[in-house]
Amino acid sequence: MSKEVRVRFAPSPTGHLHIGGARSALFNFLFARSQGGKFIVRIEDTDQARNVEDATEKLMDSLKWLGIDWDESMDIGGPHAPYRCMERLDIYESYLQQLLDEGKAYYDYMTEEELQKEREEQLARGEAPKYSGRDRDLTPEQRKAYEDQGIKPVVRFRVPEGQSVLVQDVVRGDVTFETEDIGDFVIARKDGIPTYNFAVVVDDHLMEISHVIRGEEHLSNAPRQALVFEAFGWEKPMFAHASLILNPDRQKMSKRDESIMQFVEQYQELGYLPEAIVNFLALLGWSPVGEEELFSLEELEHQFSLERVSKAPAVFDTDKLAWMNNQYVKEADVERLTKLAIPHLQKENKLPATLNDEQYEWTKKLVSIYQEQMHYAAEITTLTELFFQREITYNEEAKEVLSGEQVPEVLDHFSQELEDVTAFEPEEIKAAIKATQKATGQKGKKLFMPIRVAVTGQTHGPELPQAIALLGKSTVQARLSEAVKQ
Ligand code: GLU
């Protein structure tokens, strides 16, 4: 019988949810769902210097926003609780002791300065820096001498010499590493708190993790973790290291890379839709069968397979994300989009801090006429500029339209027609345009363009009668008479 699929997303609470982390979380979640397995969220916080307050809550909020939920974690508990590493210190301690007792780990008293010196000497000799093994075989007397000097040791893992380490990876096949290239690594710091490479193995084993799915940046950790699994005689999980995510310039992303928004929360703030982000992230390194690109989370849960995760780098194409979000915006409920759009309009003082019913309805109509065009909700502020300008400026193209000889007649007439409109609604406005056509004999572009340009300042834009209705009679009249003077 094959093992139950149990996978985990194990973020360190060092900040907001990164798009790379979100992709790892999603792949784990999808794999668990596609296999009828369990998805666990574990918080790896043993590197305390890097921990950021509130980061755990923020990470989990972002996951929830994406629609990724879990079967076991800190908030809902589970059979392998606790799910926060700092609450598991006593568990690690006994395993650490076991390795020390078996001689598979040892105390190392080298100071930072000594280690630094060692590294510099190795580099000067053209060697790759690697712990020399000075304290590998200290006698109890030597240890005591260091202790007496008050030097606190770290615990290092004794990497076996002259061996190959196998990492079985669904994405990459069998990857072997030589222990020669791996220095004895630290598994517990001076304060006794284990490092990631140790705690992760203990946790993955105890939590019965079947597959470790994460980004390529962790591939170099895999042999160290494999060695720890072997030292305990534990079965290693299957690994799956998904490709790197490159920025739009096809460069490796750095923390300071500004060519791209790197955190899920930033997309949320701009009014991207979570289902679009999920869809987009799924395609970063995974490819579906067939040409279809738009998938709901539920569809992904059925279609996802690790076999179709690629090791070729995935490029984060921001234009594609905008396109994809627009696909979802077009289908979204206008009420939902309105709620997303309002805070952005408020931030720019285009709407009051609280909206009455009438203002809300107006905004909803405004959003609906831009729904086809809008890539994400924050874009509403620039798209709708013409509704909030006191005076509109005409660009060259617009001036050209307004210079047509039929224009004054069309605009004057339309203005008169509007005077008689009682309910300033799209239907009545359409009728006023029609009446203008009849009276002036102008039609098509010669009729519509001057009206559009006069009222909106633009040659392209939203549905004209709807836009006119939303602008309101007095604004439209003022703009019409202003345009005639051009
Ligand atoms: N805590 C690690 C990180 O945030 C997790 C790596 C892993 O999945 O093993 O990158």
Closest ligand 1 atom to residue 9 Cα is 8
Atom nearest to 215 CA in ligand 1: 8
Please list the residue range(s) of the chain that carry CATH number 1.10.10.350: 389-484
The predicted structure's pLDDT at residue 2: 61
**Ranges for all domains in the chain classified under CATH 3.40.50.620:** 88-242
Residue with CA nearest ligand 1 atom 2: 11
Number of neighbouring beta carbons within 10 Å of residue 393: 8
Q: What are phi and psi of 69, to 5 degrees?
A: -120, 170
User: For residue 435, which of 454, 457, 413 has the smallest C-alpha distance?
Assistant: 413
**What is the rounded distance in angstroms from the CA atom of residue 250 to the CA atom of residue 294?**
23
CA angle 292, 294, 295 (to 5 degrees): 105
Q: Which of 16, 196, 239 to mutate to test the pocket of ligand 1 (most atoms within 8 A of CB)?
A: 196
CB atoms within 10 A of CB 349: 9
Which architecture, in CATH terms, is 88-242? 3-Layer(aba) Sandwich (3.40)
- Give pLDDT tens digits along the chain (486 positions): 467 999 999 999 999 999 999 999 999 999 999 999 999 999 999 999 999 999 999 999 999 999 999 999 999 999 999 999 999 999 999 999 999 999 999 999 999 999 999 999 999 999 999 999 999 999 999 999 999 999 999 999 999 999 999 999 999 999 999 999 999 999 999 999 999 999 999 999 999 999 999 999 999 999 999 999 999 999 999 999 999 999 999 999 888 888 899 999 999 999 999 999 999 999 999 999 999 999 999 999 999 999 999 999 999 999 999 999 999 999 999 999 999 999 999 999 999 999 999 999 999 999 999 999 999 999 999 999 999 998 888 989 999 999 999 999 999 999 999 999 999 999 999 999 999 999 999 999 999 999 999 999 999 999 999 999 999 999 999 999 999 887
CA separation for the pair 426, 470 (Å, rounded): 9
Which residues does ligand 1 sit against, CB inside 6 Å? 10-12, 44, 196, 200, 214, 218
Fold of 389-484: Arc Repressor Mutant, subunit A (1.10.10)
Q: Name the residue type at position 317.
A: D
pLDDT, residue 256, reads: 85
Query: Does residue 82 have a cis peptide bond before it, meaning omega lies within 30 degrees of 0?
Result: yes
Q: How far is CA 428 from the centre of its chain?
A: 46
Of residues 383, 364, 365, 278, the one with CA closest to residue 62? 278
Among residues 183, 187, 163, 181, the alpha carbon closest in space to that of 106 is found at 187
Q: What share of the chain is helix, strand, coil (3-state, %, to 5)?
A: 50, 10, 40
Q: What angle do CA 299, 336, 69 make, to 5 degrees?
A: 40
Q: Which 3 state secondary structure label does DSSP give 254?
A: coil
**Contact of 51 with 9, CB cutoff 8 Å:** no
List the residue whose alpha carbon is closest to atom 4 of ligand 1. Answer: 11
| CA nearest to 418, candidates 403, 407, 430 | 430
pLDDT at 197: 98
Comparing C-alpha atoms, which of 198, 309, 210 is closest to residue 7?
A: 210
The dihedrals phi and psi of 307, each to the nearest 5 degrees, come to: -60, -25
How many Å lie between the centroid of ligand 1 and the Cα of residue 468?
A: 54
For the beta sheet containing 173-178, the strands, ordered from the edge strand earlier in sequence to the opposite edge, are 38-41, 6-9, 211-215, 238-242, 164-169, 173-178
Residues contacting residue 144 through CB under 8 Å, at least 6 positions apart: none
